[in-house]
């Protein structure tokens, strides 16, 4: 399968289009804003619905290429690949495939989603169900002739499937799978851990050592970062960086030191999205 290639730099951008106040903007305006801000990545937000058809996605592809912006997409939130109701699993697979089709038409590289919930069940039982659904997902994508990276996201609550070990294992077992590493979610699901260089080094070492070398994961990383509010039950909500305890500058220095390449998406609230993304870019550039 001819999956998207490697990156030779780290491209930083926003989750969804930046906004001007309360005004909605189109892709041409949003991509121009990203270019003006020196940003080069955008995650298409399909979290409620896939709002582009294939023709409009092709136009977005051309606009993004002109502005030097690399595209990914976040599929709908309504996904549970570990549901005991098979129709819900099939519907979840269909939602991911639909997002991936449009993303491919837009010239993008990775489709991201929250894979499943434990719902009080043992983690190994849930993993078995998720793996079975991934077999169905890969088959459906191949049948549709869609070749993008499939990215289960590192999730923000201990009740959600998607810890680092699970994502690494899926990446070993499935050809099209690589993780979406959300540093803020990991910080939240561990109630404040994973906020030091030593802990992030441990995480990156586990990813690099646990995923087959031919996938060149450190040149294909896709990551999320923002401020985050959390408690003993994990993630509560995303915050502006200035209101969070996340040590983002140290993390950006580490990513640069290790030569991590790919895309980093800022998921700050809308009112600080472009400013917080600039802060990440400045921290990285000045490292």
- What is the CATH number for 178? 3.20.20.150
DSSP character at residue 155: P
Domain count, the chain: 1
Alpha-carbon span 168 to 177, nearest angstrom:
9
pLDDT value for 23:
60
- Mind giving me the DSSP string for 2-57? ------SSEEEEEES---BTTB---HHHHHHHHHHTT--EEEEE-SS-----HHHH
pLDDT value for 25:
83
Q: Which of 114, 104, 103 is nearest to 43 (CA)?
A: 103
Q: Are 230 and 182 in contact (CB under 8 A)?
A: no
Residue 261 within a domain: yes
Residue 200 within a domain: yes
pLDDT value for 99:
98
pLDDT value for 21:
53
Residue 50, φ and ψ in degrees, nearest 5: -80, 105
Residue 25 within a domain: yes
Residue 4 within a domain: no
Residue 207 within a domain: yes
Q: Each residue's pLDDT tens digit in the chain (287 positions)?
A: 799 999 999 999 999 998 755 567 899 999 999 999 999 999 999 999 999 999 999 999 999 999 999 999 999 999 999 999 999 999 999 999 999 999 999 999 999 999 999 999 999 999 999 999 999 999 999 999 999 999 999 999 999 999 999 999 999 999 999 999 999 999 999 999 999 999 999 999 999 999 999 999 999 999 999 999 999 999 999 999 999 999 999 999 999 999 999 999 999 999 999 999 999 999 999 99
Residue 150 within a domain: yes
Residue 268 within a domain: yes
Number of H helices, E strands in the chain: 9, 10
pTM of the model as a whole: 0.96
Its domain, for residue 233, covers 10-285
Tokens representing 97?
Answer: 């495939």
Residue 5 within a domain: no
């Amino acid at each position: 399968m001819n999956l998207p290639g490697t990156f030779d730099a780290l491209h930083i951008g926003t989750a969804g289009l930046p906004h001007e106040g309360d005004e909605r903007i189109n892709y041409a305006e949003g991509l121009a804003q990203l270019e003006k801000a020196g940003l080069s990545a955008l995650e298409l937000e399909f979290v409620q619905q896939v709002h582009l058809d294939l023709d409009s996605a092709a136009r977005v592809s051309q606009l993004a290429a002109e502005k030097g912006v690399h595209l990914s997409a976040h599929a709908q939130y309504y996904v549970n690949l570990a549901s005991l109701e098979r129709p819900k699993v099939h519907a979840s697979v269909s939602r991911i495939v639909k997002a991936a089709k449009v993303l491919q038409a837009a010239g993008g590289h990775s489709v991201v989603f929250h894979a499943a919930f434990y719902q009080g069940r043992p983690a190994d039982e849930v993993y078995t169900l998720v793996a079975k659904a991934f077999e169905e997902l890969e088959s459906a994508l191949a049948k549709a002739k869609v070749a993008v990276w499939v990215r289960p996201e590192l999730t923000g609550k201990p009740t959600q499937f998607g810890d680092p070990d699970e994502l690494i294992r899926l990446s070993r077992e499935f050809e099209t799978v690589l993780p979406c590493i959300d540093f803020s979610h990991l910080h939240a699901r561990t109630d404040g851990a994973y906020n030091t260089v030593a802990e992030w080094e441990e995480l990156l070492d586990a990813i690099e050592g646990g995923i087959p070398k031919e996938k060149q994961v450190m040149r294909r990383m896709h990551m999320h970062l923002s401020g985050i509010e959390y408690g003993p039950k994990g993630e509560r909500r995303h915050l502006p960086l200035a209101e969070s305890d996340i040590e983002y500058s140290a993390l950006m220095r580490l990513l640069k030191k290790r030569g991590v390449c790919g895309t980093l998406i800022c998921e700050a609230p809308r009112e600080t999205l472009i400013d917080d993304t600039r802060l990440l870019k400045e921290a990285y550039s000045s490292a």
